[in-house]
Amino acid sequence: MELMPIVPIAGIVAVVFASYLAWDVLRRDTGTPEMREIGDIIFEAATAFLRRQYQTIAMLAIGAAVIVGVVLALLSPGTNPQEVGIRTAIAFLAGAAASALSGLIGMYVAVKSNVRTAAAAQHSLNDAITVSLRGGAVSGFSIVALSLLGVTGIYYLYGANPQTTPSAIVGFGFGASFVALFAQLGGGIYTKAADMGADLVGKIEAGIPEDDPRNAAVIADLVGDNVGDCAGRGADLFESTAAENIGAMILGVAIYLHTNNPVWVVFPLVIRAFGVFATMVGLLVVPLWGRMRPDPHEDPMNSLNWGYFVSVGLAVIFLYFAVDSMLHSMWFFWAGLVGIATSIAIVFITQYYTAGAWRPVREIAAASQTGPATTIVMGVAVGFETTASTAITVGAALLAAYGLGSQAAVEIGITASEAGLFGTAVATMGMLMTAAYVLAMDTFGPITDNANGIIEMAGAGGEAREITDRLDAVGNTTKALTKGYAMASAALAAFLLFGAYADEVKRLTGAATFSVDLTKVEVFVAALLAVMLVFLFSSLAIRAVSKTATAIIEEVRRQFRENPGIMAGTVKPDYARAVDITTRAGLREMILPGLLPIFASLAVGLTFKALHLDAAQAVGALLMVGTIAGIMLATVLNNGGGAWDNAKKFIEAGNLRDAAGNVLGKGTQAHAAAVVGDTVGDPFKDTAGPSLHVLVKLLSTITLVLAPLFV
């Protein structure tokens, strides 16, 4: 327990650090008047989207809080159902608000950083990296701070009783997931609909380049990067860290009941506090790389990797220290190490499948020579294939972390399964130690993407354009890596969150054991419905992008048709109208997929209970099999989409040659086919895939909160 004070300290340090970074970014040069103008347009449009989106989400969240509170107050077993209902509703709203705030901060700083990155790119690569990464880090550290302080705060607010409080705060995680799902869905639909719309009507129909100012959808496209990748991913990672933290604390309760030692409950918080310090150092050392290697042709990815490995190294040292002084069993250190190693392995697997240097992307590029059909078929084959290395890695990590943890059972005096489960929790927490750094790298992506667009639109060209082009390419890689990381953490956390659900059911029923037995017909049917749910959700998300994109395409076509001056370059298109149409359509389309998992969980639980079947087990199967299928399908969609994207870039870079040795670059049939692949991959990798990560977390938190209804 003596390490507990580090938690609020780390939270406050993270806030101060984020504020310093924000000040440092905001005081920088905002570039030419043209850049400022475009930056302001993006800022206003993004803020307008977020304002409307948050109004919609706020209404949904308040409605959900009331429903959850009332239902729990009426139907909870136990002596004090009203209190359970009210507490859960308040925790839900707190989690929802914190999640929303995370998204807001992430996006605010990002849209302020993009124009400053564009300005810095006019002078130096190193400066541009510093601005964009620090802009990203504001978001990373704010989110981690909010999550740490939020969970700690509500834990103390609700009595800090190691036995009962963790269950009382599950509403916080549910609120966070609830908002994250809508934020990720709404943002993801917006960004990819704008991207698809702009590409289809601009690059393909009108034959003008990407980010060309004559395209009315181009501002919507730039706004999309912010509302999807920054705001959406911010809310997503906030809820990941919060939900996994609470789940790990619930698993700690079981051990606390045997050992009477509360360190098991607060250990997850302490580990994450150490992570703040490790990532802060890692971030601060990034510019050193540029000074050590002042070569202008140096790949910017190297300096980001260097900072990341410093963070990882420190995380390992801190993990050792924390386990040694709190848990007194080194087996958990090894379990935590498994988690850290898994995140690194997944990052490499993601790179292998989505970067141009290896077989998969080259295969897709080669297939583009026989047209769009073979490009799509090969991309699907690659996407499906990526599940293999991912599942084997995650499966081995789970078995290893569980096996290592369970070795500690005898010395601590708990059961092997409790110790094993806690091992998987430590692995997850170990992986999440570097979350702030990964988040910073992720937000780096849309910032550099925007900076590139601003330079193109402001006509600043030249060397600055070259620098932002290179940063943009690195940003694509970091975005792909973050998705891999988010997926791996979701996969590793799945088992711990399910363990938490099992502990909740045992606590509520008073039974000594809880199993989810697939030989029962209701469990089998629930598992079938779980896989279906994942496909249906993805279908709705993809369809939403398609519908919204159609609305944009029609608007841009209308503007081209009704105002020939736009194509001639003499009149500016009506960007605001295109933004407005995208906003409305995107928000309308997010509601149905967002509500689906909530209704599905309730429907399965309550229907099966009404049929006198074992609803608690059925919901458990819905959660576990849904999580497994969700993770696998997200892997397919993310990696398939990323591979198509990079196959197109591979061709654009002049790396593809036909049988006669001619380079097949832009303007060839092969490139046109690769563009089709890229466009198909967009809603897969930036809407459905990331939303599935949130879906699986939401399934966890909703089943945790509603467990009293199903037992």
Bridge partner list, 657 = 663
Residue with smaller CB distance to a copy of itself, 249 or 542 = 542
CB of 466 to a copy of itself, least distance (A): 29
Choices 110-118, 310-318, 478-486, 492-500 (CB under 8 A): range interacting with a copy of itself: 492-500
Tell me the residue type at 184.
Answer: Q
The two most distant CA atoms of the chain are separated, in Å, by 80
Cα–Cα distance list, 183 to 21, 55, 77, 477, 586 (Å): 25, 12, 33, 23, 11
According to CB under 8 A, which residues from 180 to 219 bind a copy of itself? 196, 200, 204
Backbone dihedral region of 215: left (phi > 0), alpha (psi from -120 to 50 degrees) or beta?
A: beta
SS (H, E, C) 624-681: HHHHHHHHHHHHHHHHHHHHHHHHHHHHHCCCCECCCCCECCCCCHHHHHHHHHHHHH
- For a copy of itself, which residue of 95, 475, 593, 620 counts as binding (CB under 8 A)? 620
CB of 549 to a copy of itself, least distance (A): 7
- For a copy of itself, which residue of 601, 679, 700, 703 counts as binding (CB under 8 A)? 679
How far apart (Å, rounded) are the C-alpha atoms in residues 450 and 113?
Answer: 9
How far apart (Å, rounded) are the C-alpha atoms in residues 44 and 223?
Answer: 9
CB of 241 to a copy of itself, least distance (A): 22
Choices 146-154, 169-177, 252-260, 508-516 (CB under 8 A): range interacting with a copy of itself: 508-516
Residues 496/244, Cβ–Cβ less than 8 Å: yes
CB of 528 to a copy of itself, least distance (A): 5
Residue with smaller CB distance to a copy of itself, 288 or 392 = 392
Choices 8-16, 131-139, 288-296, 488-496 (CB under 8 A): range interacting with a copy of itself: 488-496
According to CB under 8 A, which residues from 632 to 671 bind a copy of itself? 632, 636
According to CB under 8 A, which residues from 523 to 552 bind a copy of itself? 523-525, 527-529, 531-532, 535-536, 538-540, 542-543, 545-546, 549-550
Q: Does 629 bind a copy of itself (CB under 8 A)?
A: yes
Tell me the residue type at 286.
Answer: V
How far apart (Å, rounded) are the C-alpha atoms in residues 116 and 132?
Answer: 8
Choose among 158, 232, 162, 163: nearest CA to 191. Answer: 232
Choose among 645, 625, 640: nearest CA to 684. Answer: 640
How far apart (Å, rounded) are the C-alpha atoms in residues 298 and 245?
Answer: 38
Residue with smaller CB distance to a copy of itself, 367 or 432 = 367
According to CB under 8 A, which residues from 39 to 78 bind a copy of itself? none
CB of 157 to a copy of itself, least distance (A): 31
Bridge partner list, 96 = none
Residue with smaller CB distance to a copy of itself, 195 or 239 = 195
- In this structure, what token pair is assigned to residue 243? 């939900």
φ, ψ of residue 657 in degrees (nearest 5)? -125, 145
CB of 231 to a copy of itself, least distance (A): 24
φ, ψ of residue 599 in degrees (nearest 5)? -65, -35
Residue with smaller CB distance to a copy of itself, 59 or 611 = 611
Residue with smaller CB distance to a copy of itself, 222 or 604 = 604
According to CB under 8 A, which residues from 328 to 387 bind a copy of itself? 367, 370-374, 376-378, 380-385, 387
Residue with smaller CB distance to a copy of itself, 10 or 181 = 181
Choices 93-101, 147-155, 477-485, 626-634 (CB under 8 A): range interacting with a copy of itself: 626-634
Report the half-sphere exposure of 2 (CA within 13 A, side-chain side): 7
Residues 484/64, Cβ–Cβ less than 8 Å: no
How far apart (Å, rounded) are the C-alpha atoms in residues 678 and 651?
Answer: 12
Tell me the residue type at 317.
Answer: I
Residue with smaller CB distance to a copy of itself, 82 or 515 = 515
- For a copy of itself, which residue of 625, 634, 674, 696 counts as binding (CB under 8 A)? 625
Size of the site for a copy of itself (CB under 8 A): 82
Q: Does 624 bind a copy of itself (CB under 8 A)?
A: yes
Residue with smaller CB distance to a copy of itself, 65 or 675 = 675
Q: What radius of gyration do the chain's Cα atoms show?
A: 24
Residue with smaller CB distance to a copy of itself, 226 or 617 = 617
How far apart (Å, rounded) are the C-alpha atoms in residues 298 and 279?
Answer: 23
- For a copy of itself, which residue of 499, 573, 586, 641 counts as binding (CB under 8 A)? 499
According to CB under 8 A, which residues from 410 to 449 bind a copy of itself? 420, 424
Q: Does 160 bind a copy of itself (CB under 8 A)?
A: no
Residue with smaller CB distance to a copy of itself, 387 or 655 = 387
- In this structure, what token pair is assigned to residue 131? 């601005």
